[in-house]
A and B are shown apart, each in its own frame.
Chain A
Amino acid sequence: MLLLLATAFTFSAGGSAHAAQPDAQIRQAELSTIVFFVVFAVLTLLISFWASRRATSSSEYLTAGSSISAGQNGLAIAGDYMSAGAFLGLSGAIYASGLDGMFLAATYLASWPIVLFLVAEPLRRLGKYSFADVLTHKLRERPVRILAGASTVVIVSFYLVAQMVGAGELISLLFGIGYGPAVIMVGLLMIVFSTLGGMRAATWVQIIKAILMIGGSAMIATLVLAKFGFSVSDLFKMATGNHPNGNKIMDIRGFSQDAIATLSLGVGILFGTAGLPHILMRFFTVSDERAARISVFYATCLIGLFFAMLFFIGYGSIAVLRGDATYANASGALFGGNNLAPIHLARAVGGSILAGFISAVAFATILAVVSGLLIAGASSAANDLVVGLSGRQLDERMRLRISRISASVLGVLGIVFGLACEGQNVAYLLALATAIAASANFPLLLLAIYWDGLTTRGAVVGGTLGLISSVVLTAMGPTIWSKVLGLGPAIFPYDSPALFTVPLTLFVCWIVSIAKAEPEGDWRLSQPAVAQYVE
């Protein structure tokens, strides 16, 4: 997720390099890369066919029957965040400007205690398929489900399109195929994988991918340190000597220019994580609250370890790749873009086998993340939007059928919009998704869990305002207003509006709720889906 900014940063930093790259060097996939890719593709398809035999009910399809263990879920959550954006984007951000990239990593890690303390346990206790289940335990079901479903589908769609565009560019670079075939290939695999295997298949692919990602990163980091005799001082000396910014790469620079902008970005990431649908879905896959909180602890440890290795990979790429004409041009920009820093570094320290392995892991990462997104979107479409709009609860068969259809439709839309957005910097879609998660989902979830006074009217008015304000203010910020749309100076001075929209949503929910009490005889739709989970 976060890594939207890192990715945007490095994409923009590497844009000129991309244009100047020697195409032949980048667009010839090596045999090792293709072999690892085929192995991973076959493995993921086998897993989805295996899981499809068990996915005969909606709870099995959407939440793996809540039978995933704490350790497995911890690895899967960690896998969700060890995305291609994190691995390639953060390493590329460190390569481009030094410690700035690690600031996002620290912010991201700090969001996990917030998730654990505030939402993980109540979510597991009160929810079944989506976070709207938690809202409806005390609020009127139809309006709340429509609102939650709309925000979830919007977040998932934005995320999906951004991931597809990134996937198309990355796969075309790594495997030497065109952008269009790359998007269609990833999209079709994603649809087959998601509609057949469901959450169990997505979880197992995330687990395998997380292990491979941590193993691969550890291998690169160890080889980098070995190259410098396991002397961090020598590594830093070489890095600061190679980088045009010298010692400045040892400090935060970009994020120290505007304290309010940095604080707003921090608030967005801190609270946005607790509102992201595909992350919240993970808490429904374990059996109880104890497993939910242990899984968060495992995930936090693994993510921290991963980020520590990215630190050495980032500085290692500065020390090893900058100035080497095999990997970078005269200005220091890497061939293929700075996002390929870890793959170039893997080739430099471990040869083509390690580079092929890392490339294939990056592909598996993309596939796993987009599949998780599809399932989160499908779950919300079936359980929130359809139920909210129709005013009827779905029976088991219908819920499963609508979930699978929703996954397919979202997947096709992802392919179509992914193809339409070729060549565009769509990282702002991820910024929008995070802003909505922090400004609309998180405040509603927090108030629904911890405040008795929240009313349906307060939640709907506050949530709608949070959704609209976050979208509008992000659109009026410097990135979209000035850079993407080219409309001149930005109306709103910050890229992330969370510092303003999160308090605004909380305040509006509160003021509307205290203005008029919830009418007596509150009701829910027949066949309450979550009542049995209420204490």
Chain B
Amino acid sequence: MLKATEVVPLRTTANKLGVFRFRLVLAMIASYLAMMSFLIYSARHTTQTADVAADFSPAMVALASCMAFSVILTGFFVFVRNRD
């Protein structure tokens, strides 16, 4: 084992949170919050019906939209960064 005798001044900045990155993070969080708000709102204001549900519900569409948005956003980020 080596002794810890060497002293190396080292204080560097790893990266800056760029405007592009920052906007994408905000977009993702906003999308997630929108999905959650919609789900909570729709669950509290559901109209009771005797008909049997036979199609995708608005809540399912909201969940699927958020999931699709997550995939699209990662793809967009990778596409833009790989072109740099």
Contact = CB atoms under 8 A, between A and B. Distances in A.
Interface string B1-39: 111111111111111110001001100110110011001
A237 to B, nearest CB: 5
A476 B5 CA distance: 45
Contact of B77 (A117, A236, A307, A449): A117
Interface residues of B, number: 55
Contacts of A118: 17, 21, 25
Contacts of B11: 138, 518, 522
A262 B38 CA distance: 13
Given A99-B60, A250-B53, A134 B66 contact: no
Given A126-B14, A236-B54, A251-B59, A526 B2 contact: yes
B31 A110 contact: yes
A71 interface: no
Contact of A106 (B15, B16, B66): B66
A522 B10 contact: yes
A446 to B, nearest CB: 9
Contacts of A240: 52-53
A102 to B, nearest CB: 5
A117 B53 contact: no
A109 B2 contact: no
A250 B60 contact: yes
Given A118-B21, A449-B15, A112 B74 contact: yes
Given A109-B70, A304-B71, A393-B2, A125 B14 contact: yes
Interface size range on A against B: 35 or more
A301 interface: yes
Contacts of A448: 14
Contacts, number: 189
Interface in A348-403: 390-395, 398
A531 interface: yes
B31 to A, nearest CB: 7
Contacts of B12: 137-138, 534-535
A448 B15 CA distance: 9
Interface in A417-442: none
A23 to B, nearest CB: 36
Contacts of B70: 109-110, 112-113, 300, 304
A291 to B, nearest CB: 11
Contact of A521 (B9, B17, B29): B9
Contacts of A263: 36
A116 B79 CA distance: 13
A300 B68 CA distance: 10
B40 A256 contact: yes
A103 interface: yes
A483 interface: no
28 contacts: A99-B57, A109-B66, A109-B67, A109-B71, A110-B31, A110-B67, A110-B70, A113-B25, A232-B55, A236-B54, A237-B53, A246-B52, A252-B59, A290-B82, A293-B78, A296-B74, A301-B75, A304-B68, A391-B4, A392-B2, A395-B1, A398-B1, A449-B14, A520-B9, A523-B8, A528-B8, A535-B14, A535-B15
Interface of B: 1-17, 21, 24-25, 28-29, 31-32, 35-36, 39-40, 42-44, 46, 49, 51-57, 59-60, 63, 66-68, 70-71, 73-75, 77-78, 81-82
